[in-house]
Amino acid sequence: MSDLTAGILFIVSMFVVLALVYVPLGDYMYRVVNRERHLRVERGIYKLIGVNPSGEQSWRAYARSVLAFSLISLLFLYLFQRVQNGLWLSLGFPAVAPDLSWNTAVSFVANTNWQAYSGESTMGHLVQMAGLAVQNFVSAAVGISVAMALIRGFSRKLTDQLGNFWVDLVRITLWILLPIAFISAIVLIAGGVVQNLSAGTDVQTIAGSTQHVTGGPVASQEAIKELGTNGGGFYNANSAHPFENPASWTNWLEVFLILLIPFSLPRTFGRMVGSNKQGYALLSAMAIMAIASVVLVNAFQGIHHGTVPMAVGAATEGTESRLGVYNSATFASATTLTSTGAVNSFHDSYTALGGAIPLASMMLGEVAPGGVGSGLYGILILAIITVFVAGLMVGRSPEYLGKKIGAREVKLASLYILTTPTLVLFGTGLAMALGGERASMLNTGAHGLSEVLYAFTSGANNNGSAFAGLSANTVWYNTAIGLAMLLGRFLPIVFVLGLAGSLARQKLVPESDGTLRTYQPLFVGMLVGVTLIVVLLTYLPALALGPLAEGVH
């Protein structure tokens, strides 16, 4: 089997399996979130944290809970790193520097997992397990919870109740993330991913030198790293490291885990709003953009006019030869389409346009299919904007799923859409204006510009993947990208919850023949069009001076 055939098989089998699990997983998540009864173990947890599970929350209370929980997580994770040298299993590493601790704490709490550090030489096992991995679970659960609150805004009427954040958080963590992550971790261990508390061993290499090989609780972190669209690797090399991703089939499994929940959530959404067709519509829009991205990255990596790529048949630079060019390209696409940011190859070394597509995939706003939860609420926001313009064109005050899209809804959706581009462009512009910060670039010229643009795009979109090349562990970048991640995560969440509150208060407008059909292909096409034009056009001037300047001949 040629590399190309294998690559195509990889993609096709991926989409087939995702299609097969769409209904069962989506329905399962629906049942978990909407179950009336509280299980005993859940009630135990509620008692422990002092929450009344039957009390529902208004959007403000829900938002306060999300922010309070995240703030506490942030402070805890910051302090954890700052004192790790005094803790068990620190492997003798010193306390993490304040700016790096801040950056890493924000990064994991914001479900970004941007890593300005090298895992195996910075963090002890305890911080990895009890700090970072825990955030991998709960930050993912926060994203899904917020998406659920938004869906309730659509499905409920004349109420200010959006559910209970603590109930959502507990259930999503316990019954969705934990079981799948647990099983996946076992499978990964079977595939060769390490899982131990070893401080590492020194081995003699073939060349005769000594190498320190670090072990650790890798598999348990690896599974949730992909499943929760987190992306923070145990090792600096992330999924290119043989202990994280030993074989072709574990590579497939990791990509599958990355796409699993984001692609199944539209089903949960469809069930909750009482129309599976609406779920299929969002799924289609996500899938169209995702397939386009996957095909383009593969194409640009496979067809390149450079001397070496011509000679070997594809652009191999920066890819792990165990995994191959195409399976790396697909991984790159999947990790940037979702807000995962795990990497199994180095996007910096991709061809100019091959690297531009992962960048553009993030710039879409992480909606195709996006991070767990965040992808769904992201595309719902874009659907609201699309409905607004399309709704006017059918001669009615725009409405989506029976809710009127009025001034307040448009305002909140606009604020959401403005947040990320503002952070990305402002951050990039500032970095390029400061001579000192430009020095962090590995390359100069257009490629160096791409590195900086990529860093801020990744941070503000809560992706976390690095273009590599940029030395981001400086006080300035740690602070700036930390801010981009923090604001890029929590401002949109507040806008989404505000929107949910505003939608839930409305009555439900019944559908008539004059109502825009938001489940028809026409609307799906327009949603994709609006996403590409409104979101991507914002970045085109910057892209022109980065990857396009390099890549267009």
Partner 1 sequence: MSAPAVENQAAVAPRRTQGGLLDPKQLWRSTPDALRKLNPYTLWRNPVMFIVEVGSVFTTVLAIAHSTVFSWLITVWLWLTVIFANLAEAVAEGRGKAQAAALRRAKTDTMARRLLDWRPDAREPREELVPGPQLRQGDHVVVEAGQVIPGDGDVVEGIASVDESAITGESAPVIRESGGDRSAVTGGTKVLSDRIVVEITQKPGESFIDRMIALVEGANRQKTPNEIALNILLAALTFVFLLAVATLQPLAIFSKGVQAFAPNTQALDSHGITGIVLVSLVVCLIPTTIGALLSAIGIAGLDRLVQRNVLALSGRAVEAAGDVDTLLLDKTGTITLGNRQASEFIPVDAVPARELADAAQLSSLADQTPEGRSVVVFAKTEYGLRERSPGELQHAQWVPFTAQTRMSGVDLSEEGGGSNRQLRKGAATAVAEWVRSQGGTVPDQIGDIVDGISAVGGTPLVVGETVAGTARVLGVIHLKDVVKQGMRQRFDEMRRMGIRTVMITGDNPLTARAIAEEAGVDDFLAEARPEDKLALIKKEQEGGKLVAMTGDGTNDAPALAQADVGVAMNTGTSAAKEAGNMVDLDSDPTKLIEIVEIGKQLLITRGALTTFSIANDIAKYFAIIPAMFAAIYPGLDTLNIMRLHSPTSAILSAVIFNAIIIVLLIPLALRGVRYRPSSASGLLRRNLWIFGLGGIVAPFAGIKIIDLIIQFIPGIA
Q: Which residues bind partner 1 (CB under 8 A)?
A: 385, 388-398, 402, 405-407, 409-411, 414-415, 417-418, 421-422, 425-426, 428-430, 432-433, 438, 444-446, 449, 507-510, 512-517, 520, 522-523, 526, 529, 533-534, 537-542, 544-545, 548-553
* C-beta of 207 vs 433, nearer to partner 1: 433
Q: In whole angstroms, how close is the CB of 477 to partner 1 at the nearest point?
A: 16
Report whether 419 contacts 499 (CB < 8 A): no
Structure tokens at 35: 């179950």
* C-beta of 44 vs 529, nearer to partner 1: 529
Look at strands 210-213 and 399-400 and give their pairing: unpaired
Report whether 524 contacts 287 (CB < 8 A): no
Neighbours of 285 (CB within 10 A): 27
Measured distance CA(553)–CA(551) in Å, rounded: 6
DSSP state of 240: G
Start-to-end Cα distance in the chain:
33
Q: In whole angstroms, how close is the CB of 491 to partner 1 at the nearest point?
A: 14
Q: What is the DSSP string of 297-350?
A: HHHHHHS--SHHHHHHSS--TTB-TTT-HHHHHHHHHHHHHTT----SB-GGGS
* C-beta of 8 vs 415, nearer to partner 1: 415
* C-beta of 83 vs 430, nearer to partner 1: 430
Measured distance CA(441)–CA(176) in Å, rounded: 40
* C-beta of 138 vs 431, nearer to partner 1: 431
Measured distance CA(89)–CA(197) in Å, rounded: 8
Q: Is 204 helix (H, G, I), strand (E, B) or coil?
A: strand
Q: In whole angstroms, how close is the CB of 429 to partner 1 at the nearest point?
A: 3
* C-beta of 414 vs 479, nearer to partner 1: 414
Q: In whole angstroms, how close is the CB of 222 to partner 1 at the nearest point?
A: 37
Q: In whole angstroms, how close is the CB of 58 to partner 1 at the nearest point?
A: 22
In order of 43, 70, 155, 293, the CA distances from 47 in angstroms are 6, 20, 29, 46
* C-beta of 341 vs 365, nearer to partner 1: 365
Structure tokens at 43: 């009630």
* C-beta of 130 vs 430, nearer to partner 1: 430
Q: In whole angstroms, how close is the CB of 458 to partner 1 at the nearest point?
A: 17
Q: In whole angstroms, how close is the CB of 89 to partner 1 at the nearest point?
A: 44
Using CA of residue 321, residue 325, residue 328, residue 332, what is the dihedral sign? Answer: positive
Q: In whole angstroms, how close is the CB of 262 to partner 1 at the nearest point?
A: 25
Nearest CA to 462 out of 286, 338, 289 is that of 338
Angle at 302 between CA 296 and CA 304, to 5 degrees: 100
455: left (phi over 0), alpha (psi -120 to 50) or beta: alpha
* C-beta of 179 vs 529, nearer to partner 1: 529
Q: In whole angstroms, how close is the CB of 474 to partner 1 at the nearest point?
A: 18
